[in-house]
Structure 1
């Protein structure tokens, strides 16, 4: 065994010395995966001229492309044991050099891991803007853009250590899952902080930390019974990605005769039976932006590459879910195969796709087992989608104070009347804002009463609620007037030089202001209550048509019922309790968890103007 290790080490040093292999991906794999074959990418100068041999391993395919710097080697992994194998590169039947390749043991019950679900509350952060836990990595010698906190569109220094340092804050707030915008390397010279133009799919951006730091983040979260969700980008890579600068094949990305061609962004062409081919191609093959080459998921080598990469990160970092950026811009056949392969490997995992559309039928098309998708024999295999139509309603309806046929709270009611379109309505992601939208507290001018109504709805209706970092302290931001940097401000207290620290309560030195504390206290109270209230997670939704701009609905199961009241009018209102007997059943009394007040639900009761109630019936 010792001599074997010495030999492998010598071969590894030899290969590095002669620069025969610059990269090998995945960098290692696991011995007992359900996936039967592994595609190993070997990259190096003129590496395609070599033949390959692996002792006791079946090589099922070796693919050479028009670029001689690539070899794609597919091996049969069934029966492969934990340990290191040697990949021999030969010429004229002689071994020129060898490359060691490691197979590791999986974590016990890895395939059975449980993803996020409707019992969770997801907290979204932009890591560069959340907290700076390691001042030494704000800039890095291997990346182009350096830290400049004075620049709203620049890098500010937030990192993985900063997130780890504030997990107790998230736990105390009541968040149970963390979605971070991408953390993989983005080596664009400007605006790299958003990290959606990634330059290395197997490497955490060094300004955020290391791969081990990311793995440690998941571990620390699991100790606190929290889940980690990776923001995965399949549709586009960054222009500085090492494979983009030396393409394996011309069709690795979507090419256009005129060079750059921006997507028309009309995702409806993916299923429109009347769509022209030129428009369909313009959406799916057009580039999202000049720095984001559009990837061709119909290329089998690329599809296998991103599939294995996704599985590698789940296994390596011990992840609990994916949020997939711009899901519906991908080649829809290719992305369905990608999704299915991941869910086959991890049947209880969860993946939510960004399908930014404004019609429930069009969004429901993309959810797994959709009857709408079945019309053209399509199944995305995607467990969850984001409820953008509810977001559309939330951003306007609380400024509509008067009763109207199609305005105010009827917008929420109408949104839920279309729930029959979704195959799994509890597996829908709900939100009032994210890193691409104006801040909800900006839209409603930092009004705490409106915030309470918004959060009451998000946190008590069906689906999986998602909060955007800082909303819980009333953070503001308007991208239309000041650009994206304004909705992605630094969380106060995340940097040592900050004079105010909103991670701390108002009774602590330099902690939250009185106004911030009001936002935070309400959010924490409802989140902590929700965490242990199963009827909100999976109970049925029973809603009543809003009258006088007052919306009433129930979440109920066989054992429990919760009555939610949102009075969006400018007047105090009295509820005619007889109208809601179907939901109240035989309950006599309830407790409003917002005010801790007891309410007799056998008789009419009042609801103050612009307020909400969450009544736990007893």
Structure 2
């Protein structure tokens, strides 16, 4: 009897062991990913749609142990996905428990955390015309942690000799040089994307993302990104995330196991975009041209997301909000904004701005006509002609950038030289909010300004003064402040060079005064002086712009806010010019003196004023 009892107990124990093992195996097999990985209890948005991913997970029914309302469960043609929408209104911070059942028996449980939201998170202030935005490419800026230069499991390894290789710059490198950026006069940083990109080559630009809830380990961790924001906020600086709504990388885990066939645009399979963004609003466009613009892939390694699919747009909305909350962000720059499905990207933008009414988002709308660019800004009268509103607060002033490429090479003419600058601002009536335009000399996709002008310091002074003192939000590309060159015709690597001094062993350290050449220091000291003045000038931040028709290639304009007045003069001639100040009395209004900010000189402003050739003046009246 004792022997039988022993075997009975052993059999029961073994059966329990098998059941537990099966249970454990089933649990591990079923839940491979949960996205968003967690949420917050007191969001303005009252719902959250949680993606559960695992082998054949759609075979299970879902319930919660808590009193939580499940508003919907979506199963797709791929049984590895479940999209579960819950009501979060009035829920307190807690850990929820989702039960996954078969035949009314719970097979496994998944925890899900609702965190406490940061106080006043919804009221965060985005970037504005009071800011100067510093654009950097993290892989090419500074290497603060050489230990993460190459990472197991990610294909593209360190190769600093290759223009398209990974050079090792990272989040720690940015943190290490925040004081440099702040001292320069910049108040915000726009970093090109930092999320994981597991392409085999050219992954350093990080626009072909393979996991949109994870910082690329070669840049650091999610916690490093949080720390970057914290360090910046301690310095009264703002962090802007480069967000990609239009496409992911071919290595993205969801692309390899699509939730739905129409999660991406298929023809079937791949077809390239024709890049003709005009077809998005052209009333005469053929259907096939419009289709290939918006639905065509940007490049073959970047599958095009279908924002007309409600699951896709909701996923993107939640991912964007998750990063704002998690990393305490101050803004987005949205890549290839005008390539998205118009209605889908409008819904995405509105959802974010509803959650954060003081936030700011600038969209890349790379067009060459003010009417077409203005179509994409919030409350556009041109968009309204087609009953369309993007809700996008800011767009990029590409027409000004286009003009910048030759303004300072040209003589006076009806439509040349400084007349091109004047002509750009003439069309500000097209924009609902010209003060919320991003103005720039260059960025990571364009030719370097100092290459176009052969590192001519005078042209740089004129160009930077214009974007720093006109309406809008000025953006500076890393390295411009030391005269960095780069020929776009030689490939993207040429315009995305390493910042000298960002790597141990660099022969030169241009982050320091002693490490800069005389020419580099000229560029740097001018940039710092101008941006430092701008930082405290309310007239430049918010003031009315009044400009005068250029005469003899000299452009004069004023920025005014109550009694705060600034006069800007740009002499685009090689020769000295004498201005008749009587012409500007509607703004001078009897003012007879002022301080020229760049030279520090006190000026008498009576009847005549001389200005040296190829020189800017910024006069605090």
- Alignment TM-score, normalising by the size of structure 1: 0.96
Tell me if the contact between 1:111 and 1:346 (Cα under 8 Å) persists in the aligned partners.
Answer: yes
Q: Where do 5+ consecutive residues of structure 1 fail to align?
A: 1-9
Counterpart in the other structure of 2:497: 489
Per the TM alignment, residue 591 of structure 1 is displaced from its structure 2 partner at its CA by 1.1
In structure 1, the residue matched to 2:511 is 503
- Within 5 A, what are the aligned runs for 1:232-271? 232-257=243-268, 259-271=269-281
Equivalence for 2:394: 384
Contact 2:567-2:618 within 8 A present in 1 as well? yes
Q: Distance in 2 between matches of 1:455 and 1:432?
A: 7
Question: C-alpha separation between the residues in 1 aligned to 2:224 and 2:574?
Answer: 50
Residue 7 of structure 1 is matched in structure 2 by none
Q: Is 2:458 the counterpart of 1:458?
A: no
Shift of 1:67: 0.5
In structure 2, how many angstroms separate the alpha carbons of the residues matched to 1:353 and 1:18? 41
- Which position in structure 2 is the counterpart of 1:399? 409
Q: CA deviation at 1:585?
A: 1.2
Instruction: Tell whether the 8 Å contact from 2:362 to 2:395 is kept in structure 1 after alignment.
Output: yes
Alignment of 1:335 with 2:339, yes or no, is no
- Provide the secondary structure at the position in 2 that maps to 1:333: helix
Secondary structure, in 3 states, of the residue corresponding to 1:171?
helix
Contact 2:247/2:305 (8 A) holds in 1: yes
Question: Following the alignment from structure 1 to structure 2, what is the Cα–Cα distance between the partners of residues 171 and 72?
Answer: 44
Deviation at 1:434, TM superposition (A): 0.3
1:3 maps to what in 2? none
User: For residue 612 of structure 1, what is the aligned residue in structure 2?
Assistant: 616
Q: Does the alignment pair 1:560 with 2:596?
A: no
Kept in 2: contact 1:30–1:82 (CA 8 A): yes
Q: 1:531 aligns with which of 532, 535, 539?
A: 535
Partner of 2:60: 50
Kindly tell me the number of residue pairs found equivalent between the two proteins.
Answer: 600
Superposition pairs for residues 198-347 of structure 1, below 5 Å? 198-257=209-268, 259-347=269-357
Matches within 5 A, 1:24-423: 24-55=34-65, 56-257=67-268, 259-400=269-410, 402-423=411-432
Q: Which residue of 1 aligns with 2:579?
A: 575
Q: CA deviation at 1:479?
A: 1.5
Rounded to whole Å, the distance in 1 between the matches of 2:249 and 2:589 is 57
Which runs of at least 4 in structure 1 moved beyond 6 Å after TM superposition? none
Partner of 2:6: none
Q: 1:266-299 CA deviation, whole Å, 9 max, x = no partner?
A: 1111111111111111100000001000000000
Shift of 1:14: 3.5
Secondary structure at 1:615's aligned position in 2? strand
Q: How far apart are residue 586 of structure 1 and its match?
A: 2.1
Q: Deviations over 1:505-562 (max 9, x none)?
A: 13xxxx1111100000000001111000110000000000001101000111221111
| In structure 1, C-alpha distance between the alignment counterparts of 2:81 and 2:568, rounded to whole Å | 60
State the alpha-carbon separation in 2 of the partners of residues 15 and 466 from structure 1: 53
Larger radius of gyration: 2
Question: What is the CA–CA distance in structure 1 between the aligned matches of 2:221 and 2:604, rounded to whole Å?
Answer: 56
Q: Residue 15 of structure 1 contacts residue 99 of structure 1 at CA under 8 Å; is this kept in 2?
A: no
CA distance in 1, matches of 2:219, 2:26: 27
Alpha-carbon shift at residue 15 of structure 1 (Å): 6.8
Paired with 1:428 and 1:354, the residues of 2 have a C-alpha distance of 11
Question: SS at 2:385's partner residue?
Answer: helix
Determine the C-alpha separation between the residues in 1 that align with 2:555 and 2:28: 71
- Structure 2: which 5+ runs fail to align? 1-19
Normalised by the length of structure 2, the TM-score is: 0.96
Q: Structure 1's 566 and 16: CA in aligned 2 closer, same or farther, altered over 3 A?
A: farther
Contact 2:332 2:361 in 1 (8 A): yes
Deviation at 1:142, TM superposition (A): 2.0
Q: Secondary structure at the residue paired with 1:500?
A: coil
The reply on whether 1:602 has 2:606 as its aligned counterpart is: yes
CA distance in 1, matches of 2:279, 2:573: 40
* Compared CA separation, residues 598 and 38, structure 1 to 2 (3 A): same
Q: How many Å apart are 1:17 and its aligned residue?
A: 5.7
Secondary structure in 1 aligned to 2:257?
Answer: coil
Q: Any idea what the Cα deviations from partners look like across 1:338-385, whole Å, max 9, x if unmatched?
A: 000000000000000000000000000100001110000000000000
Distance across 2 between alignment mates of 1:465 and 1:18:
50
Change (3 A) 1:204 1:542: same
Could you tell me how far 1:493 is from its partner in structure 2? 0.3
